[in-house]
């Protein structure tokens, strides 16, 4: 399939390199509003061409699929444009600002017989799949603490009185939708949708959440999610059962998962080594779903995205975090 990309940041570069490694997507075009940036980015990654007009890109026959990594608040309009022109869309998380946008987008995707994916890479990692398959070894689950707390260099700009996109209500920013969605998606993929969700955010000067604690209540246990872009935690994430504990080094990449029996104290590393680029695995799965027309797996991913967004929208609004897109 022929690929186009929107965005010229490091994450787009990472996606392109992973796509090259995976081999099924051929980069044909990149987009930037700035012609100089578009040209330089195309040359850097070996794209056949570039666009500075999104509508021209959407109507072009040179691409079949687009990867979108623009600021969060721009996702909906750009996703809709490409879906309406019969292009498959892979959109960086968070895919949408609210459920209203998501409902419209999936409807258009269905009408045009194309696929819409959220690039939530962690739930596609082999070690995440291995964790899911081995979770029963923990016994009856009693608690989980999932942590993604990493200081953002862009918070330095906030301290100076500026408002970077990722810390802006106008651009649908904040830590819950930027980092918190990784452990939240993992929790939903592992445990299902919680019965209740409550969020306690730390609101910074720009009006978004800089850090926060999200508590998910399940019938027999509680899952606590810690997320921050204004501090850093070095603790692993853990899932606790009556017979075992799972320790996860990173909610973003799941690069190491260890299972420990609480009685014998035996430790086992779960899953094979992940020797590909992080985004390789999600690309591999998206391509497989498109080529096999695997609607069953597609619906599983769609459900996870919908339940993540339902929770993030609900709890942020309960705390007065209202996006311009709302």
Residue ranges of domains in the chain: 2-119, 122-274
pLDDT tens digits, residue range 75-128?
999 999 999 999 999 999 999 999 999 999 999 999 999 999 999 999 999 999
Asked if 2-119 and 122-274 have one fold, the answer is no
The answer, as to whether pTM is greater than 0.75, is: yes
- Which pLDDT does position 60 carry in this prediction? 98
What's the CA gap between 152 and 178, in Å, rounded? 11
Write down the pLDDT at residue 167.
99
* Whole-number pLDDT of residue 50: 98
Average pLDDT for consecutive 10-residue bins of the chain (326 residues)? 97 98 98 97 97 98 98 98 99 98 99 98 98 98 99 98 98 99 99 99 99 99 99 98 98 98 96 94 99 98 99 99 98
pLDDT of residue 201: 99
pLDDT of residue 75: 99
Q: What is the pLDDT of residue 159?
A: 98
Q: How far is CA 196 from each of CA 167, 202, 214, 226, rounded to the nearest angstrom?
A: 27, 20, 10, 16
Q: What is the pLDDT of residue 43?
A: 98
- CATH fold of 2-119: Rossmann fold (3.40.50)
Distance CA 31, CA 52 (A): 6
Instruction: Give me the CATH code for the 122-274 domain, please.
Output: 3.30.360.10
Contact present, 259 and 268 (Cβ < 8 Å): yes
pLDDT of res. 283:
99
């Amino acid at each position: 399939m022929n690929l186009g990309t929107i965005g010229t940041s490091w994450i787009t570069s990472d996606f392109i390199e992973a796509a090259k490694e995976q081999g099924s997507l051929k980069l044909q075009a990149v987009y930037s509003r700035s012609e100089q940036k578009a040209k330089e980015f195309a040359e850097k990654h070996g794209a056949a061409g570039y666009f500075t007009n999104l509508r021209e890109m959407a109507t072009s026959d040179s691409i079949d699929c687009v990867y979108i990594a623009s600021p969060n608040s721009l996702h909906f309009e750009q996703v809709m444009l490409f879906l309406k022109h019969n292009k498959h869309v892979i959109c960086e998380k968070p895919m949408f600002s609210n459920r209203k946008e998501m409902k419209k987008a999936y409807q258009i995707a269905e009408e045009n017989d194309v696929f819409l994916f959220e690039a939530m890479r962690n739930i596609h990692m082999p070690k995440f799949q291995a964790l899911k398959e081995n979770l029963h070894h923990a016994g009856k689950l009693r608690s989980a603490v999932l942590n993604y707390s990493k200081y953002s260099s862009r918070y330095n700009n906030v301290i100076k009185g500026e408002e970077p996109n990722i810390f802006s209500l106008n651009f649908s920013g904040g830590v819950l939708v930027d980092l918190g969605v990784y452990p939240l998606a993992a929790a939903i993929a592992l445990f299902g949708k919680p019965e209740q969700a409550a969020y306690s955010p730390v609101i910074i000067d720009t009006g978004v959440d800089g850090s926060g604690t999200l508590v998910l209540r399940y019938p027999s246990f509680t899952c606590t999610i810690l997320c921050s872009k204004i501090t850093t935690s070095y603790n692993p994430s853990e899932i606790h059962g009556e017979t075992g504990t799972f320790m996860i080094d990173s909610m973003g990449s799941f690069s190491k998962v260890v299972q420990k029996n609480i009685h014998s104290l035996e430790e086992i590393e779960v899953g094979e080594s992940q020797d590909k680029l992080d985004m390789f695995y999600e690309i591999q799965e998206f391509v497989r779903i498109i080529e096999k027309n695997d609607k069953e797996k597609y619906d599983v991913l769609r459900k996870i995205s919908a339940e993540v967004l339902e929770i993030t929208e609900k709890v942020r609004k309960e705390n007065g975090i209202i996006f311009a897109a709302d």
